[in-house]
A and B are shown apart, each in its own frame.
Chain A
Amino acid sequence: MKDRYANRKYLVMALVLVAALILVARLLYIQIVDKTYRVSAANNALRPVPQYPARGLIYDRNGELIVYNQAAYDLLVIPVQTSAFDTARFNQILGITMEDFSIRMKAAVSYSRRAPSVFMKMISSETYALLQEELYRFPGFYVQARTLRKYTRPLASHLLGYVGEVDNKLIARDRYYRSGDYIGISGIEKSYEENLRGTKGVTIFLVDVHNNIKGSYAEGRYDTVAVPGTNLWSTIDLNLQEFGEKLMRNKTGSIVAIEPATGEILALVSSPSYDPELLVGRVRSANFSMLQADTVKPLFDRALMASYPPGSTFKIMNGLIGLQENVIRPSSLFSCSMGYHAGSLTVGCHSHDSPLNLPQAVAQSCNAWFCNAFRNILENKQYPILGEAFDHWRQYLVAFGFGNKLGIDLPNELAGNIPTRSYYDRYYGKDRWKALTVISLAIGQGEIGATPLQMANMAAVIANRGSFYIPHVVKKIGDDGSPAPLYMQKYITGISPENFDPVIEGMEGAVNGGPGSTARGARLDSIIICGKTGTAQNPHGKDHSIFVAFAPKDNPQIAIAVYVENAGFGSTFAAPIASLMIERYLTGEIKRKYLEDYVLNLVIRPDAKE
């Protein structure tokens, strides 16, 4: 058969030769003609060096610095570059033994002989100063600057949180982080990590075969500049925080103080606490294990993570809901004969005048009054079945922020618990429970749980007469910034402002009233404090003492919740602590030295029994 296209093989052959020629010509150019590659034959390796930005600073609400940065240095080693040197002197500077030296050196060698690895982390500036002078004598070693957190006062450790190295799981998930990077692990450091961390930069150096830096690569074309982290302005009043932590010393519990008009948290105390410096730098992991092993749980942030039954402080809620649902009036009278009696059921009460109206019942914390009120709420004829009335009751509580996380800008907040209708339906059978079945809810006991934060928020809602901003701890992101948008949004609870008047009157009476009032220990001559005591039942030991309050009565500046664990009745300890906090915040000083000394000298062992 005739091959009509036989001549085409020549073009194909030419194609091969042209392709080869192009490649050879290009190789000739880059390998022999072009000087740039020949020059870089000596120094052709690149070393990207990350540039760590300074982490954002944290100020208190008055502009006082709380957290700043100190320089620290990682000592790096490139094993192939080391040669014989005075190891004795070297170890002396670093304060390590010869044995320690060999272990670290072996670890570095097993990582890589040619790549730099960390020989010693976070050397102090003092050691660095010594080392720097003699570093030329230790070939193969060089330092890389890092920043560590430093605190102006040993305060607010739970709130601020701490910074540590990223773990491998996060490195796999988030491309920003590389092994050895720092990240906020708890508190503000965690929730505002993206603001505080800034943006890492990178400088790419040309290094020779001996890994000595020969200059910047491509005239810095691929370098990026580190952007420092954003400063944060906390809502915390550092002086008030310090005072609160002092008052809570030798006690277990927490204080949450909020500015009602804004939802800004003024103080957030959880006791026992720890010095934030313990969790910085090289000592961090050892101290962390020590704190974690401690039986009093200093790492546990009780203000956000402990849920207690609110006890009598919860009567306020039932009073407000009853008024709003029109099932009680401020003037409603209920009698009390040492308690509430219905058939075989008795809810005991202490001795006081009878009958009482709403303000008096709040002031004297009458159990019987609120059992009646609660029964009226649930047996409301407006609703066809009791379960529906219960749903409405629960909705008011949810609107106050109970039963769900409030959404504070700190990690690990607890939701607390407000039982649901379906919970009781499951427990007792559908609609087979009555007001009396769940009567303990009337006085804040039973299946109910709330965090100190939620209780302080309740006090803020009352101070505001029905509305609130979600409590938060950062008021400005950046020196001229604003809080996160979530915290600029006002929430309303569905209780009409006028319904707060009789309750507030009762809370005023509790502190400032005559005999029978439960919280006279919190009274302050110059300022009208409105408060309510409570006692959280504790199955494991002595009951917890609770006090919620706000002040002054008109134009409130501070709302507060104080919990003292195992301290018994709320009036005994929680009330004076709250009172001192209010005095300190509103007047800037403490006139009642005797009360301050009394509280400071109190020691309440966490294992106290009744």
Chain B
Amino acid sequence: MQRSSNILGRLDWVTVILWLVMMIMGWLNIYAAVYNEQHTSIFDLSQRYGKQLVFIIAALVLAVMVMVTDNKLWFFFAWFIYGFFLLLLILVLIFGNEINGARAWFSIGSFGLQPSEFTKFATGLALASFLNAQRQSTGWRVMAPATAIIMAPMVLIALQPDMGSVITYFAFFVVLYREGMSIYVFISAMLAATLFLLTLMLGNVPVASGLMVMAVIALAVTSGSMLTIKASGVMAVTGGLSYLAGHYLLGLDIAVIIVVAVLLAGVVYLWFIYRQKLKMPAVIYAFLISGILYLFTVDYAFHNILQPHQQTRINIMLGMETDPYGEGYNLNQSLISIGSGGFLGKGYLNGTQTKFKFVPEQSTDFIFCTVGEEWGFVGSVVVIGLFVWLLLRLLMLAERQRTIFIRAYGYGVFGLFLGHFFVNIGMTIGVMPVIGIPLPFFSYGGSSLWGFTILLFVFLRLDAGRSEYLG
């Protein structure tokens, strides 16, 4: 018992208490979200709040189980765990149950288990283990396999397809960033994700134009005004001439003209850069060209390779298809319910939107509506504050590690919580497209609660035993 009390002594209780507080707040809000007068007992097991209580108790058990393990287990079995959950992701594609159009669930009696929620911690472990062995060497020989570790579950989950979960895996790029991935690759990845969404939402021409404007601004910032004027002039003249030629002489499609114009302008511009022996403009230009090519590829792939129903699904995911009973309506309802909360909220169990059940998925992905409506701005800020506290605490814990393994894993946990926190709350208030991912510890559901609990407690266990030699 000496050892386990040591562990308890070194356990980061601040995080544990934050975890408990969030779970209890989530449970109370689920009760409010699915409240009805026939079943008023919060312990009623036929209702979601009753079930969530069971999930919470199971999560406590899980947490204890994780705490009594040995750090070496997670370190040495990282790859085995990763492989095991990848296998589950393959199996769920074959044997899983289709719910809401995605083959993402194993049914065990009346409970469903969603393997993609658990793959997150496995991916974090594998990535950390891999980076630990690299000792912060950052060439593409390191970063390419690291990216592959992140991409493997993404591809499998994309096949379900559960695009919401896929997007959360981008959070692991925070780990790569912290462990030395080139800032440019990092920016590229972020840019790629942003461009992907922007292209589908706004169309390729406006996004391409936007990129060009940004390139000019970047040039101005990095290279001084004289050079910017010259470079922009060179580009604008070449681009404009080739646009006019394409449009009036050849009668080409607008998209084709833009690509040709940019490429032509680019060639002239490259020659200009070469003459001046400039490095920064070359980099900016490379970003611009690859960005534009990428967004045209996305656009083409979306409209010509995907089936119409897949397009619709993505459009709905992006909140682009407005339909009075569809996603546009959901967002509107969500905004009304949170917006109507005001400064102090309507009070617990007094949310009219919540009671009338106008917001779909209110106990799962849209749980924040209940917070916003019944607890108001104050309650919302408290919840956001709790998350910020947790996130900064996780950062602090990660930074105090002496091994790259634990730090990298910690950053993975941090990244995932940050991603879920921002995207989930963001979508309920209209700053992010509607993407169906849960709010950690708040949303109803066993798989996500357990997945997040394991994710967190493996880190807390590693942190508690940080002085142990992992070898």
A476 at the binding interface (Cβ < 8 Å): no
B 335-358 to A, binary, CB cutoff 8 A, 1 in contact else 0? 111111111001000001101101
Determine, out of A33-41, A294-302, A364-372, A479-487, the stretch whose residues face the partner at the interface. A33-41
B384 and A24 within 8 A (CB): yes
A103-118 CB contacts (< 8 Å) to partner B: 113-114
Residues of B close to A38: CB separation below 8 A: 339-340, 342
Residues of A close to B325: CB separation below 8 A: 48
A173-228 CB contacts (< 8 Å) to partner B: 202, 204, 209, 218, 222
B135 at the binding interface (Cβ < 8 Å): yes
Residues of B close to A6: CB separation below 8 A: 399
Residues of A close to B178: CB separation below 8 A: 5, 8-9, 12
Range, interface on chain B: 35 or more
A114 and B356 within 8 A (CB): yes
A527 at the binding interface (Cβ < 8 Å): no
A222 to B328, CA, bound (A): 10
B335 and A24 within 8 A (CB): no
Known: A23-B431, A27-B377, A31-B380. A40 touches B136 (CB 8 A): no
B372 and A204 within 8 A (CB): no
Scoring A11, A16, A36 by chain B CB atoms within 10 A of each residue's CB, the highest score goes to A16
A22 and B324 within 8 A (CB): no
Q: How far is the CB of B182 from chain A (nearest CB, A)?
A: 11
Known: A23-B384, A114-B356. A31 touches B391 (CB 8 A): no
Known: A5-B136, A31-B376. A204 touches B395 (CB 8 A): no
B 192-233 to A, binary, CB cutoff 8 A, 1 in contact else 0? 000000000000000000000000000000000000000000
Residues of B close to A9: CB separation below 8 A: 178, 395, 399
Q: How far is the CB of A224 from chain B (nearest CB, A)?
A: 8
Known: A41-B342, A202-B324, A204-B324. A24 touches B418 (CB 8 A): no
A20 to B385, CA, bound (A): 8
A222 and B324 within 8 A (CB): yes
Residues of A close to B387: CB separation below 8 A: 20
A26 at the binding interface (Cβ < 8 Å): yes
B338 and A16 within 8 A (CB): no
A30 at the binding interface (Cβ < 8 Å): yes
A45 and B352 within 8 A (CB): yes
A32 to B37, CA, bound (A): 31
A37 and B352 within 8 A (CB): no
B117 at the binding interface (Cβ < 8 Å): no
Question: Which of A12, A13, A204 interacts with B177 by CB under 8 Å?
Answer: A12
Residues of B close to A12: CB separation below 8 A: 174, 177-178, 395, 411, 414
A41 to B352, CA, bound (A): 9
Q: How far is the CB of B127 from chain A (nearest CB, A)?
A: 16
Give me 16 other A-B pairs in contact (C-beta within 8 A), A23-B384, A44-B353 excluded: A5-B180, A13-B395, A16-B392, A17-B388, A19-B418, A20-B388, A23-B422, A30-B430, A31-B343, A31-B380, A36-B339, A37-B339, A40-B340, A41-B339, A41-B340, A44-B352
Interface residues of chain B, those whose CB is within 8 Å of chain A, are 37, 135-136, 174, 177-180, 324-325, 329, 332-333, 335-343, 346, 352-353, 355-356, 358, 372, 376-377, 380-381, 384-385, 387-388, 391-392, 395, 399, 411, 414, 418, 421-422, 425-426, 429-431
Interface residues of chain A, those whose CB is within 8 Å of chain B, are 1, 3-6, 8-9, 11-13, 15-17, 19-20, 22-24, 26-28, 30-32, 34, 36-38, 40-41, 44-46, 48, 113-114, 202, 204, 209, 218, 222
Q: What are 30 A-B contacts with C-beta separation under 8 Å?
A: A1-B135, A5-B178, A8-B178, A9-B399, A12-B411, A15-B174, A15-B418, A17-B388, A20-B384, A20-B385, A22-B426, A22-B431, A23-B425, A24-B380, A27-B338, A27-B377, A30-B335, A30-B429, A31-B338, A31-B372, A32-B342, A38-B339, A40-B336, A41-B340, A44-B352, A45-B352, A48-B324, A113-B37, A202-B324, A209-B352
